[in-house]
Structure 1
């Protein structure tokens, strides 16, 4: 194995991908958490692309960035310069990949959790962790699921269970109109709330002008086993409205289960299906 092959194998683990051109050109995958970049990082990317590539930066499907057309001999200098300006290298292969997230309640009126904060904590703790196969996280601020929590190996979704405060209610029907799940009916001076239909989106509380909807419970809903690609699968809801400590306990146990039970190259959902969801659930939650 020559020096070039050794270097390439090292770079590939960090998201350095060979291109289809016959010359030695590569795309460098960069580490972005929840799609957030500072203006200085953007300047660094523009400078690096102009200097080493073709003045282009590609935005990936998972909020990541790639600079393409990088000559192999420039790889180390490119990475050093980017790192010096706060832009870190990404990853690929059988590892925890970059975490995608919406802006959550920092920006979005519908956001129920600080999705950026949770994404950063997941990234800090688990990014590039070695596993039997690739593992993807998504954090979405509410059940609108803009970040497609159900299409990832482990998805985190903000949720809120409302509680009706009768003495404040004027029966204006705004909550009935706003509820996307038809879980609320207002008729003849009475309000009926069907918890089984509720999707925990909090729209009733957001729209009510009289604060007649309070918070009964709120927290993180967890989906597991989703994926896209050649053989897509919708994730399964594991639990709902857990607190942050419980969430990270679930993440830790899920990765432990995957590392213990998966075969090489297998995806998390395939492992769960092969071993059995109830056995997985007992391992993670009990």
Structure 2
């Protein structure tokens, strides 16, 4: 009987990473959205790693999980058991990867958007979509950018543009102290707000005891073309404070542009640079 040939490219599509120890041992990448797992999923991972591997689970740099030392012959059974308990298979290669996100305004006092909700919606619509190259999303709740929106192919950041309500202000200078961008200056019962300096973090509004800062506009700011690795690139701001419907239109058009214009294996930022940012921006926002 002929020995079965392992199709490594096909396995990589499903999140299988061949280990260096021997050709039939794999590290299996799992689909985790925004780093969120419940207790049952954690128990399932522990059980699977002990039953089929060496009792180890690796946390990746992008909030993913991998169980290593899995013999190829046990992979299907392991995945079936994990799926029954709510843990799904991941992916690698030229396609949309796992979505990373902070906890956003569900947990963090500084969060301006529900990062987990947006990450789940992106995952539901785009996870593992085939593209010319790998594509990574990051969702961060505010301009502190804990999830490094500017280092992803497409980064989503929550933002809030404040509006000063003069009648409520007692000129206590708390907002001036809290502003990380020196966009607010209070002196002689006068307040100066510099919109050009403002980073849209909303700290002035959060700290004000007199409701002297209202919301002028809030939403999602999008960065494109970021990456790390051997040749890192900082993402460029594409659009600021858009609503959710517009956000997903921007995402859809960005992926369409990448699919149409990219060379095989090329990253999104390299495609944008080669074609031209203005041409890309026109295509997405027209």
TM-score normalised by the chain length of structure 1: 0.98
Quick check: 1:176 aligned with 2:153? no
CA shift at 1:223, angstroms? 0.0
CA shift at 1:272, angstroms? 0.0
| Distance in 1 between residues matched to 2:4 and 2:139, nearest whole Å | 40
| 1:280 equivalent in structure 2 | 280
| 2:33 equivalent in structure 1 | 33
User: Is the deviation greater in 22-31 or in 197-206?
Assistant: 22-31
| 2:216 equivalent in structure 1 | 216
Q: Aligned to 1:201, what secondary structure does the other structure show?
A: coil
| Distance in 2 between residues matched to 1:98 and 1:209, nearest whole Å | 40
| Distance in 2 between residues matched to 1:90 and 1:232, nearest whole Å | 24
| Distance in 2 between residues matched to 1:10 and 1:68, nearest whole Å | 18
| 2:107 equivalent in structure 1 | 107
CA shift at 1:275, angstroms? 0.1
| Distance in 1 between residues matched to 2:172 and 2:203, nearest whole Å | 15
| Distance in 2 between residues matched to 1:176 and 1:228, nearest whole Å | 35
CA shift at 1:72, angstroms? 1.0
Q: How does 1:123-134 map to 2 (within 5 A)?
A: 123-134=123-134
Superposed CA offset, 1:224-248 (max 9, x none): 0000000000000001000000000
Quick check: 1:3 aligned with 2:4? yes
CA shift at 1:22, angstroms? 2.7
| Distance in 1 between residues matched to 2:23 and 2:51, nearest whole Å | 18
Superposed CA offset, 1:157-188 (max 9, x none): 00000000001000000000000000000000
| 1:229 equivalent in structure 2 | 229
| Distance in 1 between residues matched to 2:194 and 2:18, nearest whole Å | 54
Quick check: 1:201 aligned with 2:201? yes
| 2:187 equivalent in structure 1 | 187
Q: How does 1:238-249 map to 2 (within 5 A)?
A: 238-249=238-249
Q: Aligned to 1:78, what secondary structure does the other structure show?
A: helix
Superposed CA offset, 1:180-204 (max 9, x none): 0000000000000000000000000
Q: How many residues end up aligned between the 2 structures?
A: 285
| 1:148 equivalent in structure 2 | 148
CA shift at 1:2, angstroms? 6.3
| Distance in 2 between residues matched to 1:9 and 1:285, nearest whole Å | 36
| 1:252 equivalent in structure 2 | 252
| 1:88 equivalent in structure 2 | 88
Quick check: 1:49 aligned with 2:53? no
| Distance in 1 between residues matched to 2:3 and 2:285, nearest whole Å | 48
Superposed CA RMSD in Å reads 1.0
Q: Aligned to 1:252, what secondary structure does the other structure show?
A: helix
Q: Aligned to 1:4, what secondary structure does the other structure show?
A: coil
Superposed CA offset, 1:103-152 (max 9, x none): 00000000000000000000000000000000000000000000000000
Q: Aligned to 1:176, what secondary structure does the other structure show?
A: helix
CA shift at 1:12, angstroms? 1.6
| Distance in 2 between residues matched to 1:14 and 1:204, nearest whole Å | 46
CA shift at 1:5, angstroms? 1.8
CA shift at 1:25, angstroms? 1.1
